[in-house]
Amino acid sequence: MSNSSSLQRRRVLSGMRPTGKLHLGNYMGALHNWVRLQDQYECYFFIADWHALTTDYADPSAIAANTREVALDYLAAGLDPEKSVLFIQSHVPQHAEFHLLLSMITPLGWLERVPSYKEQQENLTGKDLSTYGFLGYPLLQAADILIYQPDFVPVGQDQAAHVELTREVARRFNQFYKKQDTAYTFHGSNNNPAAPILPEPQVLLTPSPKLPGTDGRKMSKSYGNTILLSDPEPEIRSKLKPMVTDPARVRRKDPGNPDKCPVGDLHKIFSTQETLQEVYEGCTTAGIGCIECKTWAADAIVSTLLPIQERRAHLEQNPGLVKEILCEGSRRAQARAEQTMQQVRTAMGLGPEATGTAQ
């Protein structure tokens, strides 16, 4: 028997808020990495629709459609229901129960101190974010994570503080509550009574290359400078045309430097070594023009997205298939989440075992 089949694989959990169709920044910053992790780890990937509600509660009308778009992009990008458990957060009500229980032990100060709390309140000025739910955003995230007892959480730097809070909450929980020796702990990898109920997961920082948007700033939905995974080829080409370049290239005969140009950054991520070499050569000698250079960058992006768009088109024609994948994912996620919740309820003095109301 080979090692990989005899050993339990380590577990990974991550998710995204449903913000609508995903862009190249989401792909390079997360999805692309998740697709690779599937072959090495037992993976759980989900869409955090309750998290969308923490900011969009006054008008939740877009959340369902955005969730469907993200599901399509997950699958199109290569998340594979044969390898990973793919699901929607609100389809696994155990997350909400766990969030409630964790809220009992979480000091307010821990949540008020999370950097994104004040930042977002200041940035999203059109929304009233002085709500209970918004303050609890990172604790809901902690529940999302800890309920699967994962080893790793692959996220970008922007989420690292949330994973740190998650570890602190786990530690506090484990100090208060110890594993009870009940019939509930007989299966799963976590059946050693000395082991803590909630192992502290580690952040798996996604190495994310600098991915500029069409205005040269970081690609982000809020800047309106994105290239979507689902953008058709003509759209990609016309988005690249007005893209800013090295300001030193005022005229066609002025040489430039790809290291000072956002189009150069795109080449570094998406082009082959050969093309990249031609870009350096042509740019620094003014042998090529920026228009031609952008055409090559567009070619590289188009060919990266081609297989993703083919899969998306296939899925769009089979809504029943997507539905089935998500239903099956919820079933599997619920089963795993319920396993943790039985340990948690018992440890906190709840549930049929504790109250003597078991059937």
Q: Is 78 left (phi over 0), alpha (psi -120 to 50) or beta?
A: left
Residue 258 binds which one of ligand SF4, ligand TRP, none, with CB within 5 to 8 A depending on kind?
A: ligand SF4
Of 118-157, which residues contact ligand TRP (CB under 6 A)?
Answer: 141, 144-145, 153, 155
Q: Which stretch binds ligand SF4 (CB under 6 A): 66-74, 173-181, 253-261, 331-339?
A: 253-261
Task: Tell me the C-alpha to C-alpha distance, in Å, between residue 311 and each of 29, 31, 286.
Answer: 20, 15, 39
- The Cα–Cα gap between 92 and 144 comes to 10
- In sequence order, the 6+-apart residues with CB closer than 8 A to the CB of 116 are 137, 138, 158, 161, 162
* Shortest reach from residue 306's CB to ligand SF4, in Å: 22
Alpha helices in 156-289 (DSSP H): 160-176, 233-240, 262-270, 273-284
* Shortest reach from residue 244's CB to ligand SF4, in Å: 9
Q: Which of 35, 153, 283, 341 binds ligand SF4 (CB under 6 A)?
A: 283
* Shortest reach from residue 102's CB to ligand TRP, in Å: 13
Q: Is 290 in the site for ligand SF4 (CB under 6 A)?
A: yes
When the beta carbons of 254 and 316 are compared against ligand SF4, the nearer one is 254
* Shortest reach from residue 150's CB to ligand TRP, in Å: 9
Residue whose tokens read 């989900």: 46
Q: Which amino acid, one-letter code, is at 57?
A: Y
Q: Rounding to the nearest 10 degrees, give the CA dihedral for residues 234, 239, 242, 248.
A: -110
Structure tokens, 342: 């039985």
Q: Which of 11, 15, 43, 86 binds ligand TRP (CB under 6 A)?
A: 15
Which residues of the chain form contacts with ligand TRP (CB under 6 A)?
13-17, 48, 51, 141, 144-145, 153, 155, 159
Which residues of the chain form contacts with ligand SF4 (CB under 6 A)?
245-246, 249, 256, 258, 261, 263-264, 279, 283, 288, 290, 293-294
